[in-house]
Structure 1
Amino acid sequence: MLFSGRRLITALLGVASCLLISPATAFTNPIRRPGGSDPQMIYSDGYYYFLSTSWSNVQIARATTIDGLKTATRKTVYSSTEASRCCNVWAPETHYLDGAWYIYFTAGNSKNLDGQNLHVLKGGATPWDDFTYVGQLSNEWSIDGTIIQFDKWGTYLASSCFHEVQYQSLCMQKLGDDNVSLKGNNSVISQPLESWEQSRTPVNEGPYALYMEEIGKTYIVYSANDCWTPEYCLATLEWDGKTDPTSAAAWKKSSGCVFQGGVNGHYGTGHNSIVRSPDGSQIWNVYHATDNVNGSCNDSRYTMVQVVGKNPDGSPNFGTPVAFDYNSAEPS
């Protein structure tokens, strides 16, 4: 069988990647350390844009390669002295909606975590344009907001919540036409009721959309378990493609973690985002991990990036966390 150059490199990568890939076309992990918690990476107009939890403000960096993000200049796009949203700034994400970029992020007060809520910044035509604070999005305790779009149903906000439930769960609500408000009812779509998502404290958080157009499937990848445990991991919800996405019945939960640590010195592998390669042929998993065998929720977490495989039926296969010395070819 004959292989193109790119396919040959892919086939031999696990055997002799260090010999086959030059530094100019490859990267090793981590992408950010320290400060790599709750990462989001997107690709737009020739740049990779990167955001992560900085605790006190919202920052964005950009580079033309993933490796370039390691040393890219960080641009602060939000900070505030307003007591209700000054502090504990977590999990910023940028999304392109109706001709403009928005950043959805979590923030609260300096005294405790009881006031954590979702907030919105509005930007311009590129993620590098200036952003302006436009308001608080939710009216109850919420973290880890993300945007998910469904054909025929519209655009929704998914987040982690305690909406009328005992445990920290996943919620879904319709996004307003202005992209900075919510409408309709807030609904719980997933609760941490399985034994494998109850390590120390039952938790579902960090949702992110994974669109598998090749097989016509929409998934939510989310984080299960308490982040202060090594069992913090990624799991999935699969939409049935026909039922109102705010209905819990519309979602099928994975039978366990689909991606977890304990491999190559990585623990607490979770709170990810998904980015497509520039040509659309590859799906990349952008996640944080820690080398603390007990797990961690602090700034010791670092950002890892690795390609997602596919099962025979076309569904995603996340594999296992790669080693720090593993050379990954830059996305094609």
Structure 2
Amino acid sequence: MDLLRLLTTLSLLHPTTAVTFANPLRPCDGSDPHIVHFDGFYYLMTTTWTNLRPTRAKTSKISKPARQRCCNVRAPELYKIDNTWYIYCTAGNRQNLDGQRSHVVRGGSHPWNNYYGYAGQLTPQWVIDRTVLIIAGKNYFIYSCLPQPHWKSFCITEMTSFTPISGWKVLSEPSLPWERVGSPVNDGATALYNGTKIWVGYSRSYCWTDSYQLGLLAYKGVGDPAEGSNWVKGRQPVFSSSEGNWGTGHNAFFTSPDGTETWNVYHATTNRTGNCDGNRYTAAKKVEWRADGTPDLGRA
């Protein structure tokens, strides 16, 4: 499939130390956003359901999908691992979402000027919304899993090279009441770093509700990151619907080129009952840091 040419008004893409832009960054097909900075440019990827589509004014190519990963392409994330660029995504069959699996395509030394070839399916079981977490020089693969039916939780496993190793553990389950509005959901994991402090941001509740919002898991700083007991779940949401932006969820964090600013990129909708389709838009907001080093995501 093609990585399509997009027109964008983002001054976000200019290689300066400050990050300035106008919301929304993408007015439609803007869900599940992920942004990385490399070589003077920011690369934005979102869910379009049919292809992988970064924002930058050039084109590139990616291998055609097979039938088992033809459709429902969602939550793409772009990473540089061992000097090679990879796009992780979820895809499945045409009929429904029961066939969702995690896949990866492999590029080269630059995220833009390369052909991305299919590198494989990463897990045999149902998976959506995976991300890469880095702690103490090790990569961990976190994804939304179904350890029990209709109960979207987080699973975690260590990675070797660009693929997860066998074996996984449940990291988090939707145990709090506000994680279960509409449906019990933990999805859209993303890593957040501030010095030695590490969090996993994630979305809770169902996207067809205005209760789709962000929470945080805080790493205690010691112990095996693959053990849920070494993480502390925040009791309240940290980012919720406000000012006409509804269903504020499935975010990612990125930094300014000089690393002094951290930003939260997320999707939202004007539909006050929420949305799970292409009507969601991409927006971003600067993260502030409290005196104790914890993040303040503010209001949408």
**Greater radius of gyration (CA):** 1
Match of 1:279 among 258, 263, 266: 258
Q: Secondary structure at the match of 1:52?
A: strand
Contact 1:59-1:77 within 8 A present in 2 as well? no
Partner of residue 165 from structure 2, selected from 173, 176, 183? 183
Which 5+ residue runs of structure 1 have no aligned equivalent? 1-23, 63-71, 322-332
3-state SS in 1 of match to 2:68:
helix
1:226 CA drift (Å): 0.4
In 2: Cα distance, 1:197 partner to 1:163 partner: 16
Rounded Cα–Cα distance in structure 2 between residues aligned with 1:184 and 1:25? 39
2:200 paired with 1:220: yes
Residue 134 (structure 1) aligns with: 119
Letter in structure 2 aligned against 1:281: T
CA deviation vs aligned residue, 1:222-262 (integer Å, no higher than 9, x gap): 0000011011001000011111111110110111110000x
SS across alignment from 2:147: coil
Percent pairwise identity: 41
Deviations 1:189-248 (A, max 9, x none): 1000101111111100000000111xx111000000001101100100001111111111
The equivalent of 1:53 in structure 2 is: 47
- Cα 1:267/1:79, change in 2 over 3 Å: farther
SS where residue 202 of structure 2 aligns? strand
Counterpart amino acid of residue 57 in structure 1: N
Report the secondary structure of 2:267's partner residue: strand
Measure the CA separation in 2 of the matches of 1:300 and 1:270.
Answer: 14
For residues 33-84 of structure 1, the C-alpha deviation after alignment (integer angstroms, 9 at most, x for no partner) is 111010001111100001110101112222xxxxxxxxx456553542x221
Normalized per residue, the structure richer in strand is: 2
* Pairs aligned (count): 282
2:11 corresponds in structure 1 to: none
Q: AA paired with 1:273?
A: A
Q: Which structure has more helix as a fraction of its residues?
A: 1
One-letter amino acid matched to 1:296 = N
Report the residue type matching 1:232 in the other structure: Y
The answer to whether the 8 Å contact 1:170/1:188 transfers is: yes
* Partner in structure 2 of residue 159 of structure 1: 143
Deviation at residue 176 of structure 1 after TM alignment: 2.3
2:178 alignment partner, SS class:
helix
Structure 2 runs not aligned, ≥5 long:
1-17
Q: Say whether the 8 Å CA contact 1:55–1:89 is kept in structure 2.
A: yes
Residue 288 (str. 1) matches residue 238 (str. 2): no
One-letter amino acid matched to 2:227: S
Give the Cα separation in 1 of the matches to 2:257 and 2:67: 40
2:142 matched to 1:169? no
CA RMSD of aligned residues (A): 1.6
Verify the 8 A CA contact 1:61 1:74 in the aligned structure 2.
no
Q: For the Cα contact (< 8 Å) 1:59–1:75, is it kept in 2?
A: no
1:97 to 81, 94, 98: 81
